């Protein structure tokens, strides 16, 4: 080992020992002490692991914090969360002074409650008026609470649909931000305060206080009542057999209350996935988008002769739908996020057009992320409404002026912007169930409604390719290679446009996204994921019929995959 490498090893071991000295968690303390001992004995793998944890710091950005549970500044743990809470507290005190306030929620993941309670003590110790939600609850309840309690900020401890080993820290702002997630420059300002806290010394020197409030159940009741209202008036004499899965998350208790309050059919719950379980034992990835995630729900649906499957992800901010399809394996097909977004968007536009008939009022706005399908723009045009394409993420979608409805293809939907300014899988579920009842009363299935819409705006099909990487630099190498050597054709279609949105493209927001357009009207969007170690590729086509669109999509998928090898 060279002198430079030796000094590097000494430095990282010293940093790890300093971390152990301030870590209040016996589990992470013990596993870090074991790594230190192994590294001291010359274990290169242990030393490499220490460098992975201590050479960089888990970045705080517009998605807050999210990462693997373990010791060190590049992992999620009590030290890092305490520093984040102290930094956010300093930011709030700087911006709001004595009026600074925060509400904190947490889900059922490992350490979520511990992280939330640590944060509450740090906020209260910093003089920030603090409210902790009464128990583990869905993310939409926290987003609702920020506005309902008129808090300056909100924190939700969750890693949403990430693997079981992860946790995260999502931040919302009240006031002029109306309870939306943080956007620049707030993210960088908060990150600077966090860095200052980390540099100032160990977390043991930070003041703590137990002088914080515990919200009571009336807040949950208020959310349930407000969310149930999205169902509207239901048709009489129509029933619907539905299966629901909470995906081992926190959705069932709140969602079932909303369904009951709205008068919606009581779903059959997938028992094995109903209660929160941080191990997520029945799914490889607790994300309804992932292959196999809805297998138990489909099995339950077959056993009960159900007509519809609905699902939430573990923190219930996302919503998924599956419908009977004899041609699909197992007899069920999960709708894409774009299909559900089109269905919900059509209903919102149709109601707005009816309400605006003969009235003098501003046009409502439909919004979706730039990687979502073009179909919602066609829906808006059909009804004479405005459409806005935003950067990816609900922090942007929720800020669209005059928003009626917004969605992103990753199963996120905002159907009640006056109540929650974030994606809400529970309100989306209530809204979708109510619509499915109305369609059934009119003699149509969900599939029939999709065909009805396609007859008006065209047959769209969308797909996605996810390139999972072990090294984040691999994502950059793929993007750099595509920028250097843009494809000239995809399958039989010539590429007519290759746009790098990072350099600025007229009419589109600036982002690290590549857009490819082809002569047959297909579109490809390529970007690194903001929350997971993967490259995400979005495929959208338009065909003369559903079968034609599906064939075009399959051909586009086959042409793209060889270009995406790390």
Active-site amino acid positions = 160
Asked if residues 553 and 547 have their Cβ atoms less than 8 Å apart, the reply is no
Rg (CA), the chain: 24
Question: Residue 341's closest CA among 362, 311, 314, 321?
Answer: 321
Report d(CA 411, CA 427) in Å as an integer: 13
Tokens of 346: 């059509």
CB 287, CB 425: distance < 8 Å: no
CA 1 – CA 130 distance, rounded (Å)? 51
Under 8 Å between Cβ of 140 and 223 = yes
Query: Residue 558 phi/psi, 5° resolution?
Result: -65, -35
Burial degree of 540 (CB within 10 A; 0-12, 13-18, 19+): buried
C-beta atoms surrounding 261 within 10 Å: 17
Strand order in the sheet with 403-408: 386-390, 365-369, 403-408, 412-414
Partners of 412 in the beta sheet?
408
> How far apart (Å, rounded) are the C-alpha atoms in residues 54 and 49?
9
3-state secondary structure of 516: strand
Cα three-residue angle 24-27-30, rounded to 5 degrees: 95
| DSSP secondary structure letters along 272-321 | GGTS--TT-TT-SSS-TTSTTTTHHHHHHHHHHT-SEEEEE-TTS--EEE
Tokens of 171: 């931040």
Q: Tell me the C-alpha distance between 386 and 58, whole Å.
A: 39
Alpha carbon distance 10, 216 (integer Å): 50
317 torsion bin: left (phi>0), alpha (psi -120 to 50), beta (else): alpha
Counting beta carbons within 10 angstroms of the beta carbon of residue 25, is it exposed (0 to 12), middle (13 to 18) or buried (19 or more)? middle
How close are the terminal C-alpha atoms of the chain, in Å? Answer: 31
Omega cis (within 30) before 185:
yes
CB atoms within 10 A of CB 500: 16
**Residue closest to 293 by CA, chosen among 451, 163, 467, 147:** 163
């Amino acid at each position: 080992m060279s002198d430079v490498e030796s000094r590097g090893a000494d430095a990282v071991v010293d940093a790890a020992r300093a971390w152990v000295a301030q870590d209040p968690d016996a589990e992470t303390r013990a596993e870090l002490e074991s790594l230190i001992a192994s590294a001291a004995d010359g274990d290169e793998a242990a030393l490499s692991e220490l460098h992975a944890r201590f050479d960089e710091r888990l970045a705080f950005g517009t998605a807050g914090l999210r990462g693997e549970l373990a010791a060190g500044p590049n992992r999620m743990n009590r030290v890092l969360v305490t520093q984040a809470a102290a930094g956010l507290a300093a930011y709030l005190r700087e911006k709001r002074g004595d009026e600074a306030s925060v509400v904190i929620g947490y889900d059922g993941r490992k350490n979520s409650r511990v992280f939330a309670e640590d944060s509450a003590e740090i906020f209260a110790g910093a003089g920030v008026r603090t409210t902790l939600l009464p128990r583990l609850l869905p993310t939409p309840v926290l987003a609702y609470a920020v506005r309902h309690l008129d808090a300056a900020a909100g924190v939700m401890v969750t890693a949403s649909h990430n693997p079981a080993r992860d946790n995260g820290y999502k931040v919302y702002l009240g006031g002029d931000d109306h309870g939306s997630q943080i956007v620049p420059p707030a993210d960088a300002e908060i990150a600077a305060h966090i860095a200052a806290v980390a540099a100032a010394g160990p977390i043991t020197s930070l003041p703590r206080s137990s002088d914080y409030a515990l919200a009571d159940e009336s807040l949950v009741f208020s959310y349930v009542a407000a969310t149930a209202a999205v169902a509207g008036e239901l048709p009489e004499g129509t029933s619907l057999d539905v299966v629901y899965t909470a995906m081992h998350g926190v959705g069932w208790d709140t969602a079932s209350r909303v369904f009951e309050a709205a008068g919606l059919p009581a779903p059959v719950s997938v028992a094995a996935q109903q209660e929160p379980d941080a191990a997520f034992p029945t799914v490889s990835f607790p994300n309804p988008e992932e292959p196999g995630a809805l297998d138990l729900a489909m099995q339950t649906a077959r056993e009960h002769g159900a007509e519809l499957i609905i699902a939430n992800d573990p923190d219930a901010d996302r919503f998924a739908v599956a419908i009977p399809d004899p041609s699909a394996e197992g007899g069920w097909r999960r709708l894409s996020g774009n299909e559900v977004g089109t269905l919900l968007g059509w209903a919102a536009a149709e109601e707005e057009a009816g309400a605006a008939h003969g009235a003098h009022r501003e046009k409502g706005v439909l919004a979706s992320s730039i990687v979502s399908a073009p179909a919602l723009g066609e829906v808006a045009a059909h009804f004479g409404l405005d459409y806005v394409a935003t950067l990816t993420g609900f922090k942007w979608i929720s800020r669209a002026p005059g928003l009626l409805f917004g969605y992103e293809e990753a199963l996120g939907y905002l159907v009640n912007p006056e109540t929650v300014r974030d994606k809400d899988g529970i309100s989306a579920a209530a809204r979708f169930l109510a619509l499915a009842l109305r369609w059934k009363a009119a003699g149509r299935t969900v599939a029939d409604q999709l065909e009805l819409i396609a007859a008006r705006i065209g047959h769209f099909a969308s797909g996605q390719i996810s390139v999972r990487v072990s090294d984040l630099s691999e994502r950059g190498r793929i993007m750099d290679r595509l920028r250097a050597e843009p494809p000239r054709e995809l399958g039989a279609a010539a590429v007519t446009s290759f746009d790098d949105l990072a350099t600025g493209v007229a009419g589109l927001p600036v982002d690290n996204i590549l857009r490819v357009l082809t002569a047959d009207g297909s579109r490809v969007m390529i970007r690194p994921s903001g929350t997971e170690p993967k490259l995400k590729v979005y495929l959208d086509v338009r065909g003369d019929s559903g079968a034609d669109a599906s064939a075009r999509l399959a051909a586009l998928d086959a042409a793209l995959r060889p270009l995406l090898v790390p």
